[in-house]
Amino acid sequence: MNMTEFTEVIAKEHRLSKSLSNRILKTLLETIQKELKEGRLVRFRNFGTFQARKSHGKIRAKFNDSKNFFK
């Protein structure tokens, strides 16, 4: 699934315009990115935790899922 497809799902599920759905999704992702750059954890209950770490001199994001969605 890409950004366009995800935006369409949000728009359809919540009866929003695609442009509003796109802005909401971009805001969510930008906020996660900003928090990670500032060294904070981002946790979504029953989904997972995002964490930034240094790896070989580069900052990389890591995602730990808290549940196995792929049973």
Give tens-digit pLDDT for 17-51. Answer: 999 999 999 999 999 889 888 888 888 888 888 88
Q: Distances from the Cα of 63 to the Cαs of 14, 39, 45, in angstroms?
A: 27, 14, 13
pLDDT at residue 70 in the model: 44
State what percent of residues in the chain have pLDDT above 90.
Answer: 41
Domain ranges of the chain: 3-65
Q: Which CATH architecture is the domain 3-65 placed in?
A: Irregular (4.10)
- Laid out side by side, the sheet with 42-44 consists of 42-44, 48-55, 58-65
Strands, E, within the chain: which ranges? Answer: 42-44, 48-55, 58-65
Q: Whole-prediction pTM value?
A: 0.71
Q: Distances from the Cα of 14 to the Cαs of 3, 17, 58, in angstroms?
A: 16, 9, 38
**In this model, does residue 69 exceed pLDDT 60?**
no
pLDDT at residue 60 in the model: 63
